[in-house]
A and B are shown apart, each in its own frame.
Chain A
Amino acid sequence: MKLDTTVPQRFVVPIGPQHPALKEPGHFEFTVDGEQVTGASVRLGYAHRGIEKATEGRNWVQNLYLLERICGICSHVHATAYCLGVERLAGVTAPPRAQAIRLLVAELERIHSHLLWLGVAAHEAGFDTLFMYSWRDRETVMDILEALTGNRVNYSANLLGGVKFDLTPELTDKIYKGLELLEERTHQYVDVVTSDATLLQRTRGVGATTREQAEELGLVGPTARASGVERDIRTEAPYAAYPDFPVQVVTATAGDLEARFVVRLQELFEAYRLIRAVLEKLPPGDLQARMPRKIKPAETVSRVEAPRGELFYFIKSNGTDQPERIKVRTPTLCNLASVCVLAIGSQLADVPMILAGVDPCFSCNDRMVTVYSGDTAHTQWTWKQLRQYGIDYYRR
């Protein structure tokens, strides 16, 4: 975005990459007219590390650990998407027990991610008490994850062809106890976000996205579901053990920040129900199927529902023990466009809330980098140009 010097009353507020609102680097420029935002642009890429290229120099097993570290919050879904894709390429199916455990960890991770988001969003609204409460309760699910997998953040629960650990009766008891506490606390959070007058002033009617807008912008995950779009990979294309444990999609119609709070909190109840169902009907059997070391040339697409929305993996093999190409598209990239649209016309003070409302995760997000030469001003690419660039790039 270019600074317009001919209109003196306009002012550009640059935010980031180091900023108090989010813990991750991202640069935003908001043009303001008084308190009103009249233009918004986002610059990403501070956390771009070149993971997709790095996967091409590592073998299938090493990549599992690399791809898990694309994002520390939703590491399990990245590993699951990768494992499901590679297993499909190799013609191997993980045993039912392993699939159920994958689902279990994925839902536990959803709980941890949504509670984390609740805290961060409350912090943006200036409601630090809720931030502290939700993070205190989040420690319950972190303890469960640690007891199950041995690590608090990058769990490494998945293996190619299965999972690493089994459930014991003690662990099952621990999970039941933790869920009981969390369920009780979640009821209270739903109560707080729908009745606290101060919080409602920051959330009700702010950043409202209509259903048409949500579909046009291609929103995914809870952000889309808060606008009434029933978009959930767990029901549209069930993977792992989701065919056996169907999910009821939670939606709302308002599309504002309050609806996003409510949808994410209601999804927690759905996660508690799913985890209990899995623990009751855990299929017996092996934990891992045997995987070949090399995979014949083929390509596949693997989609899973991350806590933030649809996570998309394209995997291509070339007959060796290393992948030919891995392409990752994370949910934040789909949702971030909505921030630039919604911010225009809103108050500057609401912008951090609108940004937090999509649950952005920049380390997931920073996939492509464009280097501007010399004094080129910032440009924005349309979808058509970007598509043409992609076609030309790969034709070369």
Chain B
Amino acid sequence: MTWQRVVDDFRTWARVNSPWVVHFNTGSCNGCDIEILATLTPRYDAERFGVKLEGSPRHADVLICTGPVTRQARDRLLRVYEQMPEPKFVIAVGSCAISGGVFQGCYNVIGHIDEVIPVDVYIPGCPPRPEAILDGVVKLLGHLKNPVLEETIQEAG
């Protein structure tokens, strides 16, 4: 085992055990946002997976986006994404973030999140239940821990 491997393993261990998330609302109706907050509060308690809501994108590993992307929010979303240090991961929460949802065709809506930035995990629902959001986060962490295994499972499944 080389030193590089040891350092990488250590980094992965740290990343998987304490993912800091930053949350950005790109034009959502608030429904998903309050469910994300509910996920962090005692009933669902995402903190047991080391998840911490962070104020600044510069300190965060995971960006949680909600809502369709509006024209005003597009540049801000890009700026928030670019400010995050590598490696960074994006979770799109809610039907609007995935497809534009009920707001498809509104004049001020550009579309969904992955038209603007790459997305790693999609969580469907209007809004998704806190359990679903937790599941999405855990899936992302599982992927970080063992990307090869997860990809094989996905291909097989």
Interface residues of A (CB under 8 A from B): 17-20, 23-25, 45-51, 53-54, 57, 65-66, 69-73, 75, 116, 119, 131-132, 135-136, 138-139, 142, 152-154, 361, 363-364, 369
Q: Across the interface, name the chain A residue whose C-beta is closest to B129.
A: A152
Give the most central of B23, B56, B67, B101: most A CB within 10 Å.
Answer: B67
Min CB–CB distance A207 → chain B (angstroms): 22
For chain B, give the interface size range.
35 or more
Contact B33 A24 (CB under 8 A): yes
One of B4-12, B36-44, B139-147 at the interface: B36-44
Task: Say yes or no: A50-B107 contact (C-beta < 8 A), given A24-B30, A69-B102.
Answer: yes
B19 at the interface (CB under 8 A from A): no
Q: Of the candidates A17, A53, A152, which one forms a contact with B35 in the assembled complex, judged by CB atoms under 8 Å apart?
A: A152
Min CB–CB distance A15 → chain B (angstroms): 11
Q: Of the candidates A45, A49, A66, A153, which one forms a contact with B68 in the assembled complex, judged by CB atoms under 8 Å apart?
A: A49
Q: Across the interface, name the chain A residue whose C-beta is closest to B108.
A: A50
Extra inter-chain contacts (4) besides given A135-B43, A139-B41, CB under 8 Å:
A65-B102, A69-B101, A72-B28, A135-B41
Q: Of the candidates A48, A66, A69, A136, which one forms a contact with B70 in the assembled complex, judged by CB atoms under 8 Å apart?
A: A48
User: Cβ of A153: which chain B residues have Cβ within 8 Å of it?
Assistant: 31, 34-35, 127
Contact A25 B34 (CB under 8 A): no
Q: Of the candidates B29, B57, B70, B105, which one forms a contact with A18 in the assembled complex, judged by CB atoms under 8 Å apart?
A: B57
Contact B29 A363 (CB under 8 A): yes
Contact A50 B106 (CB under 8 A): yes
Give the docked Cα–Cα distance between A72 and B42 (Å).
Answer: 21
Contact A369 B108 (CB under 8 A): yes
Give the docked Cα–Cα distance between A364 and B22 (Å).
Answer: 23
Contact A23 B23 (CB under 8 A): yes
User: Cβ of B30: which chain A residues have Cβ within 8 Å of it?
Assistant: 23-24, 71-73, 361, 363-364
Mostly, the A contact residues are loop
Task: Say yes or no: A46-B27 contact (C-beta < 8 A), given A53-B107, A54-B103.
Answer: yes
Q: Across the interface, name the chain A residue whose C-beta is closest to B23.
A: A23
Min CB–CB distance B19 → chain A (angstroms): 17
Contact B23 A72 (CB under 8 A): no
Contact A18 B24 (CB under 8 A): yes
Task: Say yes or no: A48-B127 contact (C-beta < 8 A), given A132-B42, A363-B29.
Answer: no
Contact A17 B73 (CB under 8 A): yes
Contact B70 A47 (CB under 8 A): yes
Min CB–CB distance B44 → chain A (angstroms): 9
Give the docked Cα–Cα distance between A372 and B54 (Å).
Answer: 33
Q: Of the candidates A46, A53, A136, A152, which one forms a contact with B73 in the assembled complex, judged by CB atoms under 8 Å apart?
A: A46
User: Cβ of A20: which chain B residues have Cβ within 8 Å of it?
Assistant: 54-56
Q: Of the candidates A25, A71, A138, A364, which one forms a contact with B26 in the assembled complex, judged by CB atoms under 8 Å apart?
A: A25
User: Cβ of B138: which chain A residues have Cβ within 8 Å of it?
Assistant: none
Give the most central of A46, A47, A49, A69: most B CB within 10 Å.
Answer: A49
Min CB–CB distance A336 → chain B (angstroms): 16
Task: Say yes or no: A72-B72 contact (C-beta < 8 A), given A18-B24, A135-B42.
Answer: no
User: Cβ of A54: which chain B residues have Cβ within 8 Å of it?
Assistant: 103, 105-107
Give the docked Cα–Cα distance between A142 and B41 (Å).
Answer: 13
Contact B33 A72 (CB under 8 A): yes
User: Cβ of B57: which chain A residues have Cβ within 8 Å of it?
Assistant: 18
Q: Of the candidates B32, B38, B109, which one forms a contact with A49 in the assembled complex, judged by CB atoms under 8 Å apart?
A: B109
User: Cβ of A47: which chain B residues have Cβ within 8 Å of it?
Assistant: 25, 27-28, 67, 70, 73
